[in-house]
């Protein structure tokens, strides 16, 4: 999931307006959509390898099958000044490190709403419609299969799309996939993530401690006040973010939502207007060129000047997203996958694929996702509320809908909330998610592989 900007088209238009002399220096500050796409695609491959390795260690002679999954049940106890946090390694990953993942999710949602593909009704209509359809139809199909069953509360499991895996598949297709489809799928996944956050907050909170909830809300209010007062130092936000996480953890609402609340409070807008930014770029270039002492020193001075300009022209939200993205994409998410897919595939879990739980997940992700995304997108275009992106055909869009069935990270996360971390149903759900994600990825690849190559992207 988630650091360079996703709103590629408007960024590229802005880039053309910058004088050719300045353009190479400002481009790294703009961070176009393609950089994000490559990074997300690469992280999807790492995520896939992590899951495969965990399954191999848990189910073959390469690893201690009886003991490997139990590693995550070992306790790690932290204490300071009478405050004690005692949780298993799995809980530290799922409730602690995943908060940073949700912080990135929150920053992405905020960026897209304020200055990206979701910033105007015309831009946002198609991905919002696709995302809503892609959430409702899988949830309804799951509910049909699990009506009155003990697992009925897992309806949120097939609602999510794993953008890292989906973009990794698109990356394998190369120029066969138009840029507009990548932007559409990415924006759709952002809305999908927002829906997952709302579902987790609203439906998977089992016990509520109001005192801690009030403390969490008070802390969040203080963070919002910092934003209102134009406090731009991240050191004013991050320590309070840790306090917010603790209060959320103790309140009964899932602690990872503290990451989303923190993202809402961190300033997104840069302090400089575009004319001021261009003026400062020109001034610093003139300063460096005035009397260059030598090639090596000149390069060092230029680097320092650009670094200073970056700090002045980027927002705290941009800097934090840039700093955390690689750690989340190549560290936290693969670790989450490694810990939560290290399950022993027992015969009972395989038989469970034909249970209401297993069928609800499989049908929800493989059938419900493309049906919901495609049908509601078609209806939105039919009603003239939106239009297909340039170069994107309906075959492309249905292929993206099939890739939307790759649930993985968020689906497993919701599984842990809905079914618990240690149950036979959880193992069945994880296996169904893995099988459905593999099937959706293969079918989506095959469908897009046979789609015509966009003329403007032919090599």
Average pLDDT over residues 381-403: 90
Average pLDDT over residues 205-233: 89
What's the pLDDT tens digit per position in 189-207?
Answer: 888 888 888 888 888 877 7
Per domain, the residue ranges of the chain are 8-204+254-270+314-457
The sign of the dihedral angle between the CA atoms of 402, 408, 414, 416 is: positive
Residue 346 tokens, joined: 């027992």
Per-residue pLDDT for 278 more than 70? yes
185 CB contacts (<8 Å, ≥6 apart)? 163, 166, 167, 170, 400, 403, 404
State whether residue 83 is helix, strand or coil.
strand
In the numeric block, the tokens 């193992």 are attached to: 427
Residue 366 tokens, joined: 């493989």
User: Which pLDDT score is estimated for 119?
Assistant: 77
Q: Packing angle between helix 23-30 and helix 8-16, nearest 10 degrees?
A: 160
Which is nearest to 172 in space by CA: 393, 418, 351, 399? 399
The sign of the dihedral angle between the CA atoms of 302, 303, 304, 308 is: positive
Distances (CA, A) of 183 to 37, 127, 136: 9, 9, 22
CATH architecture, domain defined by 8-204+254-270+314-457: Up-down Bundle (1.20)
251 near 208, Cβ under 8 Å? yes
Q: From CA 286, how far away is CA 188, in angstroms rounded?
A: 43
193 near 135, Cβ under 8 Å? no
Average pLDDT over residues 58-80: 70
Per-residue pLDDT for 130 more than 90? yes
Burial class (CB within 10 angstroms; exposed 0-12, middle 13-18, buried 19+) of 172: middle
3-state helix, strand, coil in the chain (%, to 5): 75, 5, 25
What's the predicted TM-score (pTM) here?
0.76
What's the pLDDT tens digit per position in 402-454?
Answer: 999 998 888 998 998 888 877 889 989 999 999 999 999 999 999 998 887 76
Cβ count within 10 A of residue 203 = 13
Per-residue pLDDT for 21 more than 90? no
DSSP structure string for 208-247: --HHHHHHHHHHHHHHHHHHHTT---GGGTHHHHHHHHHH
Per-residue pLDDT for 303 more than 50? yes
178 CB contacts (<8 Å, ≥6 apart)? 389, 390, 391, 392, 396, 454, 457
Average pLDDT over residues 316-342: 85
pLDDT confidence band for 290 (50 / 70 / 90): low
């Amino acid at each position: 999931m988630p650091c360079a900007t996703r709103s590629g088209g408007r960024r590229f238009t802005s880039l053309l307006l910058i004088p050719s002399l300045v353009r190479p220096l400002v481009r790294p500050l703009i961070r176009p959509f393609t950089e994000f796409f490559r990074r997300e695609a690469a992280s999807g491959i790492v995520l896939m390898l992590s899951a495969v390795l965990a399954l191999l260690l848990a189910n073959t002679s390469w690893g201690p099958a009886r003991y490997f999954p139990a590693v995550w049940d070992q306790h790690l106890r932290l204490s300071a000044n009478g405050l004690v946090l005692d949780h298993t390694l799995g809980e530290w990953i799922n409730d602690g490190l995943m908060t940073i993942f949700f912080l990135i999710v929150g920053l992405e949602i905020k960026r897209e709403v304020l200055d990206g593909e979701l910033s105007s009704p015309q831009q946002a209509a198609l991905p919002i419609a696709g995302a809503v359809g892609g959430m409702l139809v899988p949830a309804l199909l799951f509910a049909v299969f699990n009506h009155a069953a003990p697992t009925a509360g897992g309806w949120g499991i097939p609602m999510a799309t794993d953008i890292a895996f989906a973009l990794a598949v698109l990356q394998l297709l190369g120029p066969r996939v138009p840029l507009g489809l990548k932007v559409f799928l990415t924006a759709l996944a952002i809305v999908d993530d927002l829906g997952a956050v709302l579902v987790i907050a609203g439906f998977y909170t089992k016990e509520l401690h109001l005192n801690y909830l009030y403390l969490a809300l008070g802390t969040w209010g203080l963070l919002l006040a910092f934003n209102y007062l134009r406090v731009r130092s991240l050191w004013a936000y991050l320590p309070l973010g840790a306090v917010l996480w603790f209060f959320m953890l103790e309140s009964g609402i899932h602690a990872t939502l503290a990451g989303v609340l923190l993202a809402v409070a961190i300033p997104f807008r840069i302090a400089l207007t575009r004319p001021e930014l261009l003026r400062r770029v020109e001034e610093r270039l003139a300063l460096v060129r005035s009397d260059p002492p030598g090639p090596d020193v000149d390069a060092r001075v230029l680097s320092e000047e650009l670094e200073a300009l970056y700090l002045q022209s980027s927002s705290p939200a941009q800097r934090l997203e840039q700093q955390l993205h690689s750690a989340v994409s190549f560290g936290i998410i693969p670790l989450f996958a490694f810990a939560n897919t290290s399950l022993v595939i027992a015969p009972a879990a395989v038989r469970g694929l034909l249970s209401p739980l297993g069928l609800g997940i499989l049908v929800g992700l493989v059938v419900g996702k493309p049906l919901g995304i495609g049908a509601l997108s078609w209806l939105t275009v039919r009603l003239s509320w939106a239009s297909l992106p340039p170069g994107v055909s309906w075959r492309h869009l249905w292929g993206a809908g099939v890739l939307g069935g790759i649930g993985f990270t968020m689906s497993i996360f919701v599984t842990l909330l809905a079914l618990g971390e240690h149950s036979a149903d959880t193992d069945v759900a994880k296996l169904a998610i893995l099988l459905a994600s593999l099937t959706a990825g293969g079918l989506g690849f095959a469908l897009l592989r046979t789609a015509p190559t966009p003329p403007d992207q032919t090599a």
